[in-house]
Structure 1
Amino acid sequence: MSIYKKIKLQDKFVLFLMCLVFVSCEKLIETEPVGVISTDKAYDNEKNIEASVNGIYYKLQQTGSLYNGNFYSIYAALSDEAKVLTPAVNSIEFSTNQISVANMAVSNLWNNAYDVIYQCNSLIENVTPKTDLNTVKKNQFIGEAKFLRAYSYFMLAQYFGDVPLALSSDYRANNTLSRSPVTEINDFITEELEEAEVLLPDGFNIYGGVRTRITKQAAQALNARQYLYRENWNKAIEKSSLLIENNTFSLPENFDDVLKSNSPESIFELWFSSQSAGTYNYTAGLFVPNISLPNPATPGFLPSDKLVNAFETNPITFTPDKRKDAFIRFQSTPSPGYNYLFKYRDRTTNSDQPKFFRLAEQYLIRAEARAQLNLPGAADDIDVIRLRAGLPKTVAVTQSQLLDAVAQERFVELCFEGHRWPDLIRTGQADVVLGAYKPTTWQPTDKLLPIPATEIGRNSNLNPQNPGYQNQ
């Protein structure tokens, strides 16, 4: 599926219905059968609207989607944090940055984002004019949709640059949209998140304490990130400080507690479950060897030697960075062995919950923004992250040193969470870093992915193709 919804039923569309149930802190949503229902029925009462909202979350997690494997494996290969052992063509293209316009992993990102956007557009259009809903719930539903729409556009802009700005569920109009400048997309994201922050519930109590639904704090977190990316340093400091000063969130000393479901550090994590294949997270199976076997097969994706070596040793205690043992493990067979990623661990029940936003990132956002403005406190924020990892305080003093220190902490702390590639692009380091890391394949035009050929085939207004790619 894509932005171009070729729906032949006049006022009907497919909705993935998932009803919210508060079973425990480990389980939030149970699925109902997929159905085709009229728009009137989908939004005629609070229960059905809630099911429609859950359907948007389900789009992010379902089998074949982006966040149950691809984004944390194939997309990591774009940068210098992963190495690829699988012979799959899609993955090899990412590892060499020689990506075809027919690459399915690229299409998955595009399609997933626009599927989410389409469902958000439909919900916003139909729920906004309703006058018979509880105001708090109505605001929550619209706020969730606005956040998820903004997040989808944020992802599209980072990887494709200029993209169509589709703000209605009219597939006929969407079918002919041209690409909007990335500055316009970013302005829309900012406006959308500021509105969502007002509408969304404050904290997780309304969701039974679990951290798998969007709150005001998630909007603040994405706002802090996108303000950092846009070099609006003051706003990045403002939004990240709101989260750092919020007692709802804390930095656990034990990194097992960082990675567990509903971590006290999580601002939003995506719910996964062992209930059915539709809610499995297959990420761990791509990284962790099956150690129940005498000679487990080497995973298709491994952390790069550069990343493994980036974890420091405390020069005073001679103890390694605590994150290395938490995030990286060593498998001795077959000889000589190899390091593998242990950030996603559950290859048995497939229910790891990826952390879209967590508190450590907010400290590093504020540190970077403070350093850019030559404000005090940047080193203090860096030290919060380093001290938890068992490392001494940073020795960085100058602006350049502080920015390098932030980049180092982002590389190791946030590894395989989707940050490294956009960090290299937004800071202007991609050509230097990846030119050295991939000297035979990296080109300056590799900073954007190609618009999928199938999408240009449906809509020629998406031309011109991104630089460095040829339509097929």
Structure 2
Amino acid sequence: MKKIFLLLAIIYSVSACTDLDIDPHSKLTDDTAYKEKNEFLNGLAAVYTTLGEWSEIVYKAGASSDEMIFPARGGDWKGHLQAIHSHAWDADNDELRGRYTGISNIIAVSNAFIDAVDNSAFKNDADIQVIRSEARFVRAFAYFLMVDMFGNVPLVTSSVYDANNPPKQNSRAEIYKFVEDELKELSTAALPETSVYGRVNKYTAKTLLAKLYLNAEVYLGTGNAKWQEVATLTQEIMTGSDYVLEDDFKKVFAWDNFNSKEIIFAMVCNSSYNSPENISYLFSIGDLRAKYGSFASGWNGASVLPTFYRSYDDANDVRLEAFVVGPQFDTQGNPIIQTDDSGVNRQLTYTIDYLGADPVNNADHWDGGRGGKYLMDGIGGTMIERGLNNDMPILRYADVLMMRAEALFRIDPSSAEALTLVNQVRTRNGHNPVYTLPSLTADVLLAERGREFAWEGWRRNDQIRFDKWGIAWDFKTVSDAKYKLFPIPQVQIDSNPNLKQNDGY
């Protein structure tokens, strides 16, 4: 079943709005569309393809955390990503504007499709109602991202747009309530118990709802904890769903990870098409064609921060293979010889530490270990274009176990089940040859989440929840509390008089 459904989207052209307050002119609402029932799968596939924004969030927003950095390397990568690492961004930051636009596009395309369903002759068909519910989930996920990253945004649930009455701004709490209500309904009645790979079901909604509740105090303020709700939801997923923790960590990220029983929700990718694209290696590595094959010539950008890399506390941890470090060799075991920044031909070596005097603004091109999570078993499948065939997990069963462990720990720091669950994920049911943790603290739990979910888009979220966001880390000083939220892009403020900027910007 690999990607057959979602790849239908490629033949379905979508031209949708990219901002919450711009009219979404889309073929999803074309009068010639949806005259036959089978057309709705094409429209839904177009909704799912908007999740291509996730790769940008993983890297561009992820660069604000302590797990990675996009340093300027001479004239390469010089721009707004350095401000993201340093927590010195403002409302004109191009990268953050891009994330707001990308998430807005998910919402707009979802709205257009939902409206198309509601205006069709099939609106009461049971199968089409399930498809409509899937689009609602994708929209709820996008609004979850808005709650998490931008906070106070317009709540737009229709593709109808009145230029004379741009959307009103809603509070973070109001957006939170919308997401909560949607996911509660979707997880109980609207979505099916099971689904084919690439499509969501009731347990997908339960998992995202657990993630929302996990961060309730961040979104709603101290005193609004939902730890018991997280514990209940995760138990329901563990006992009711068919998802499992893979014994082999690499299987979750391999080119054929569509076979993984751990992935609950993914950005489905295929190198044959332009969107969505898994271009993880392009973001990070340089020229490693001699090691991985003809496609592995990347942009030499994102690299892991030294302290984060060294947070892996056991050298036997298979998860360390998610990073490419040290001297590099070709497929025959011969050293890969390239020219370094000083013009010297020598073996390509990715150093853990940064050797340049200004690691943020003028790093050496070989500084920093590179992201290789989707390369742990090499490049697989039939590569046609620049993207990898590997799907990018967004929610996976390991996180269900870790969320339950955290909730139990927050309720009772001495919880034996919490420690057991963390060690279950850490050791991969005994198949990852690392020592078991003897006890849990908040710092240990955060560190273990970092090791498990490195470069998967959740580190910023975790650091804020564990109150480690404003502290100093590699090449970053202590930062102001305002940076827990990104600013509303200034272009949005300028185009909609109803919008007010987030505090401090």
TM range (shorter): 0.7 to 0.9
User: Match of 1:245, SS?
Assistant: helix
Q: Does 1:467 align with 2:503?
A: yes
146 and 235 in structure 1: CA distance in 2 versus 1, 3 angstrom threshold: same
356 and 55 in structure 1: CA distance in 2 versus 1, 3 angstrom threshold: same
Q: What is the one-letter code of the residue matched to 2:67?
A: E
Q: Is the Cα contact below 8 Å between 1:321 and 1:390 reproduced in 2?
A: yes
User: Match of 2:369, SS?
Assistant: strand
Q: Does 1:344 align with 2:374?
A: yes
State the partner residue of 2:391. 353
Q: Is the Cα contact below 8 Å between 1:27 and 1:273 reproduced in 2?
A: no
- Per-residue CA deviations over 1:152-197 (Å, capped at 9, x if unaligned) read 1110111111111112222217952232111111111010011222
**What is the TM-score of this pair, normalised by structure 2?**
0.77
Alpha-carbon distance in 1 for matches of 2:165, 2:92: 20
Alpha-carbon distance in 2 for matches of 1:363, 1:245: 12
TM alignment of 1:448-459, pairs within 5 A: 448-459=485-496
Deviates most, 120-129 or 245-254: 120-129
Q: Of 307, 322, 328, which aligns to 2:318? A: 322
Alpha-carbon distance in 2 for matches of 1:443, 1:101: 15
Deviates most, 171-180 or 234-243: 171-180
- The percent of aligned pairs where both chains have the same amino acid is 23
- Per-residue CA deviations over 1:314-362 (Å, capped at 9, x if unaligned) read xxxxx5212112x122242434745221113358652221101101111
Q: Which structure is higher in helix share?
A: 1
Q: What is the one-letter code of the residue matched to 2:487?
A: P
Deviates most, 45-54 or 377-386: 45-54
Alpha-carbon distance in 2 for matches of 1:363, 1:454: 40
TM alignment of 1:14-413, pairs within 5 A: 22=1, 24=2, 28-30=6-8, 31-34=10-13, 37=27, 38-61=29-52, 66-68=53-55, 70-86=56-72, 87-128=77-118, 132=122, 135-172=125-162, 176-197=166-187, 198-204=189-195, 207=196, 210=197, 212-230=198-216, 231-246=225-240, 248-260=242-254, 261-262=257-258, 263-292=260-289, 299-313=300-314, 320-325=316-321, 327-332=322-327, 333-335=347-349, 337=351, 338-345=368-375, 346=379, 349-374=387-412, 376-388=416-428, 389-396=432-439, 401-413=440-452
**What is the TM-score of this pair, normalised by structure 1?**
0.82
58 and 199 in structure 1: CA distance in 2 versus 1, 3 angstrom threshold: same
Deviation of 1:150 (Å): 0.8
Q: What is the one-letter code of the residue matched to 2:348?
A: P
Alpha-carbon distance in 2 for matches of 1:351, 1:104: 28
Q: Is the Cα contact below 8 Å between 2:470 and 2:478 reproduced in 1?
A: no
Q: What is the one-letter code of the residue matched to 1:264?
A: K
Aligned length: 424
Q: Of 431, 446, 450, which aligns to 2:483? A: 446
Alpha-carbon distance in 1 for matches of 2:474, 2:387: 36
Q: Is the Cα contact below 8 Å between 1:370 and 1:376 reproduced in 2?
A: no
User: Match of 2:155, SS?
Assistant: coil
Q: Is the Cα contact below 8 Å between 2:245 and 2:261 reproduced in 1?
A: yes
TM alignment of 1:414-453, pairs within 5 A: 414-432=453-471, 435-440=472-477, 442-453=479-490
Alpha-carbon distance in 2 for matches of 1:357, 1:97: 27
Q: Is the Cα contact below 8 Å between 1:42 and 1:52 reproduced in 2?
A: no
Q: Unaligned 5+ residue runs, structure 1?
A: 1-21, 314-318
User: Match of 1:192, SS?
Assistant: helix
Q: Unaligned 5+ residue runs, structure 2?
A: 15-25, 217-224, 328-346, 352-367
Deviation of 1:293 (Å): 5.2
Alpha-carbon distance in 2 for matches of 1:357, 1:379: 21
- Per-residue CA deviations over 1:374-433 (Å, capped at 9, x if unaligned) read 15511111111122232233222xxxx44333212111101111111111222322123x
State the partner residue of 1:11. none
